[in-house]
Amino acid sequence: MYRYDEFDARFVAERVEQFRGQVARRLSGELTEDQFKPLRLMNGLYLQLHAYMLRVAVPYGTMSAKQLRMQAHIARKYDKGYGHFTTRQNIQFNWPRLVDVPDILADLASVEMHAIQTSGNCIRNVTADHFAGAAADEIEDPRPIAEIIRQWSSLHPEFSYLPRKFKIAVSGSPHDRAALKFHDMAIEIVRNDKGETGYKVLVGGGMGRTPYIGYVVGEFVAKQDILAFLEAVMRVYNEQGRRDNIYKARIKILANALGPDEMRRQAMVEFEEIKKSGTLQVPQEEIDRIDSYFMPPVFETLSDEMPKGGSEFENWVKTNVSKHRAPGYAIATISLKPIGGVPGDATAEQMDAIADLMDQFGLAEIRVSHEQNLVLPHARKRDLPAIHSRLKELGLATPNAGLITDIIACPGLDYCDLANARSIPIAQKISERFADLDRQHNIGELKIKISGCINACGHHHAGHIGILGVDKKGIEFYQLQLGGSGAEDASIGEILGPGFGKDEIADAVERVIGAYLDLRHDGERFLDTYRRVGIVPFKNVAYQEDLHAAY
Amino acid sequence: MPMAAPVPQMLTANRLKDGDVLYWKAGGWVEALKDGDVFAEAAPADAALAEAQSFVTGNVVVNPYLFDVRVDANGIHPVKEREIIRAAGPSVRDDLGKQALDPSLKPVKPTPARIVPAKDTDVSI
C-alpha cells in the first residue's frame, strides 16, 4: 500500500489544524455560514437531513486493517456505531458533531487518511477497479496511476475551482468493474502491438440529470505523458465548461457539445503546449517508486484446488469468490447486502472483526467496491472455509455478489438533503422479495441500482434494472429503467414509463423479472434478453396490474 | 371565489454545533416537532422566520426555513415525506434520530399541537 511521505504527512496534518481553526472561528462567529460552507465542503463535511455528514476518502478503495479499525473507532466514538460505504468507494459517517470533526480528521490523519476533496468542484477521490492487483484478467495494477493522479490533483491550484465536480476512475483490466464509461474522465491500462503498456483515456461520461457514455480521447497515451495529457483535457474543460448553469457544468455536456474529434483536437493542442515545457513528464524513477508501494504480496506456491466446506460455503464461493491471478489464491467479496439490510452499511463491530480477520489470515488490504461491498483481494483458497465461517458469524457471508439482492442504493431521503425519495426501503423490499437463494441463482446476474434523486448517486442509469425515486407533491414515486450497464458494454437504461408508488415498485420489478424468465434463451442474463427483445415485452407486463399511479 | 385557507407552517433549522434538527417555539428552539409552534397564517410564520435570523447571525442555528404541516385532533403532521423523516429519523433505523429517544415517533405519531394565534383572537383548526 502507498505510505505517506514527509510531504503528505505534513500537508494532511496542517490541513487538520487549519480546519480546527476554521471550525473554532465559525463557532465563535468570526466566520459566517456562507464563508464557512465552502471550507467545510473542501474537508468533506456536509449538512444533511438530520445532522452533519463526513465523507472520508478511501483512495482507490484500498484500506489496511489499521485504517479499517480507525473507521470503526470513529463510528463508535464520534458517530452512532456504523459507517456507510458509498458508490465512490468512500465511507460516510452520518451523525458527527461539528465540534468533533477536527478530532475525527486528526484521527484519520494518524492512519494516513483524510476527507479532502470528497466534495466541491474539484477532482474527487480517484476510484479504481476493486479487484486491482489481484484480477486474473488484469494487464497491470491501476492503483499506481491512481496514486499519481491523487498527488497531481490534490490542491492543484488550477483545478480547485472547476466548473463542477470531476470524477476519475482507473482500471487495468479489459473487463470493466469500475464503471469507467460513466466517469468524467477514465483511464484504462492497455497494451499496444509492441507489447508496451499505456493508457486509454476516456472523457465525458456521467450520470445525473443528463447521462452520457464517455468516449475515447486518447487511444494510447505513454506512461510518462499521462499527467500532461490529463492536464490538457482539464484545461479544455476549465476554459470552456459552462459556469452559468449548474446542470450543464459537467464535462459531459462540453464533451458532447464539442464531439470526439474537436475534443481530441483541442486536447492535443493543449497537450503539445504542456509537453513543450516538459514540467509534467512523470520520471520513470517516480513511476517505479510509486509502483513499489503496490507490489502484490509474495504469493506462496499453493494448491489451486478449492477446498470443501459444505453447501453454504459452496454457494458463497459460487458468487462471492472470483478468480485470482495467482494459483491457490482467490478474491473474496464480503457482501454488505444482507437480505433486508441497508446496502453499504457496516457496524463498528463488523469493521473491527473484519480487521481482525485480515490480521488472522495475513491479508494486508481490503477494498471498498463501488457496488458497496468489501473485497479481500488476496485470500488463500485454503483459508476460504475459515474466512467464510467467520464472516457468517458476523452476518457478512450473504452469498449474493452480482445477484438480484446485491443492490446498490444511495442513502436517499432517509439521510440525504438532496433526495426526493427513499432508496433504502425499496432495496430492502426487493431484497426480501427475492431472498430465496435458488430463485436468485435461477435469475442469474442482475444489477439493480436505486437512486433517490436525479443526481444518480445510486447509479440507476447503469442498472440492468434502474430505479429512480421522484417526488410528486410530497409523495414518493419510482421510475423503472431497463437495460443499463456500467461494465465494458456500457449502456444507459431506458425509462419504462410512468412511475410506481412505493408499495408497487417491488411488484413491478417482480413482473419484469417474470417476463425475463419467460423470454430468456439458454445462457442469457437479464441484460442479454433485454437487449435482444427490447423494452416492449417488459413494459407490457410491468403495467399489467394497472395499479400504478402515473405522475 | 373564496380564498383557500392558508396551510399551517412550522419553522425549522439545524443547530450549528452538532447539526441537530430544531423547531421554533416562542422565540427560541426546541428539539421535537411536537413541541414546536404551528403558525396558522403566513404573517406570524414570516415574522418568526425573520426573528430566527438573529439566531443565524448569533451562530446558534443554520438554514432556517418554513415547512407545511397539517394539524388535526391527533396533532401535527408534516405534509412532505422529507419533513416526516427529518422529524423522526431514518425510516429504516428506528434506533437513530429523534425517534430513538421518543418512541411515539416510531413511526411519527402526531401529538397535540400548540397553536400560535394568527391574530389576537382564538384560532381553532
Length of chain A equals 551
Interface membership of A47 toward B (CB under 8 Å): yes
> Which chain B residues touch A51 with a CB distance below 8 Å?
14, 18-21
Cα–Cα distance, A360 to A322 (Å, whole number): 21
- In chain B, the DSSP E strands lie at 9-15, 21-25, 28-30, 37-39, 61-72, 75-78, 114-116
Interface membership of B70 toward A (CB under 8 Å): no
Could you say which of A52, A99, A425 has the minimum Cβ distance to residue B91? A425
Contact yes or no for A448/A464 (Cβ under 8 A): yes
Interface membership of B101 toward A (CB under 8 Å): no
Residues 6+ apart with CB under 8 A from A98: A23, A26, A27, A40, A45, A52, B16, B17, B18, B19
Which residues of chain B are modeled with pLDDT < 70?
1-5, 106-125
- pLDDT computed for residue B120 by the predictor: 38
Q: Measure the CA angle with vertex B88, ends B85 and B92; round to 5°.
A: 65
Cell output for A345: 452499511
Interface membership of A415 toward B (CB under 8 Å): yes
Interface membership of A425 toward B (CB under 8 Å): yes
The C-alpha R_g of chain A, in whole angstroms, comes to 23
Cα–Cα distance, B53 to B49 (Å, whole number): 7
The pTM for the full model equals 0.94
Interface membership of A78 toward B (CB under 8 Å): no
Could you say which of B21, B79, B90 has the minimum Cβ distance to residue A415? B90
Instruction: Say how many domains are in chain B.
Output: 1
Q: What is the dihedral of CA A319, A324, A329, A334, to 10 degrees?
A: -40
SS3 content of chain B, % helix, strand, coil (to 5): 25, 30, 45
Chunked into runs of 10 residues, chain A (551 residues) has average pLDDT values of 90 97 97 96 96 97 98 98 97 98 98 95 95 97 96 90 96 98 98 97 97 98 96 97 95 98 98 92 92 93 96 98 97 98 98 98 96 98 98 98 98 97 98 98 98 97 98 92 98 97 97 98 98 97 67 43
Average confidence score pLDDT of chain B: 86
In total, the C-beta contacts within 8 angstroms joining chain A to chain B are 78
What burial class does residue A3 get, using C-beta atoms within 10 Å of its C-beta: 0-12 exposed, 13-18 middle, 19+ buried?
Answer: exposed
**Domain with B97 in it:** 9-116
A318-337 confidence digits (pLDDT tens): 999 999 999 999 999 999 99
Please report how the helices A143-153 and A284-293 are oriented relative to each other, as an axis angle in degrees rounded to 10: 110
Q: Is residue B30 part of a domain?
A: yes
Q: Is residue B48 part of a domain?
A: yes
Contact yes or no for A36/A28 (Cβ under 8 A): no
Residues 6+ apart with CB under 8 A from A19: A39, A40, A43, A101, A102, A105
- pLDDT computed for residue A473 by the predictor: 84
Q: Is residue B124 part of a domain?
A: no
Cα–Cα distance, A270 to A232 (Å, whole number): 5
- pLDDT computed for residue B3 by the predictor: 63
Q: Is residue B60 part of a domain?
A: yes
Quick one: fold of A135-291? Sulfite Reductase Hemoprotein; domain 1 (3.30.413)
> Which chain B residues touch A475 with a CB distance below 8 Å?
81
- pLDDT computed for residue A546 by the predictor: 52
Quick one: fold of A310-393? Sulfite Reductase Hemoprotein; domain 2 (3.90.480)
What residue spans define the domains of chain A?
Answer: 6-109, 135-291, 310-393, 408-542
What burial class does residue A503 get, using C-beta atoms within 10 Å of its C-beta: 0-12 exposed, 13-18 middle, 19+ buried?
Answer: exposed
- pLDDT computed for residue A545 by the predictor: 61
- pLDDT computed for residue B112 by the predictor: 44
Q: Which CATH architecture has domain A6-109?
A: Alpha-Beta Complex (3.90)
Q: Is residue B101 part of a domain?
A: yes
Inspect the interface and report whether the beta carbons of A33 and B93 lie closer than 8 Å: no
Inspect the interface and report whether the beta carbons of B19 and A97 lie closer than 8 Å: yes
Residue A208 zone, left/alpha/beta (φ > 0; ψ -120 to 50; rest): left
Q: What is the dihedral of CA A407, A72, A378, A4, to 10 degrees?
A: 120
Best CA proximity match to A496, nearest among A544, A532, A538: A538
- pLDDT computed for residue B107 by the predictor: 54
- pLDDT computed for residue B122 by the predictor: 37
Q: What is the DSSP letter of A473?
A: T
Contact yes or no for A390/A384 (Cβ under 8 A): no
The DSSP code sequence of A422-443 is -SHHHHHHHHHHT--HHHHHHH
> Which chain A residues touch B82 with a CB distance below 8 Å?
49, 413, 419, 474
Can you tell me whether residue A482 is helix, strand or coil?
strand
Quick one: fold of A408-542? Sulfite Reductase Hemoprotein; domain 1 (3.30.413)
Q: Which pairing describes strands A408-409 and A448-451: parallel, antiparallel, or unpaired? A: parallel
- pLDDT computed for residue B67 by the predictor: 98
Inspect the interface and report whether the beta carbons of A97 and B18 lie closer than 8 Å: yes
Q: Is residue B122 part of a domain?
A: no
> Which chain A residues touch B59 with a CB distance below 8 Å?
26-29
Tell me if A135-291 shares its fold with A310-393: no
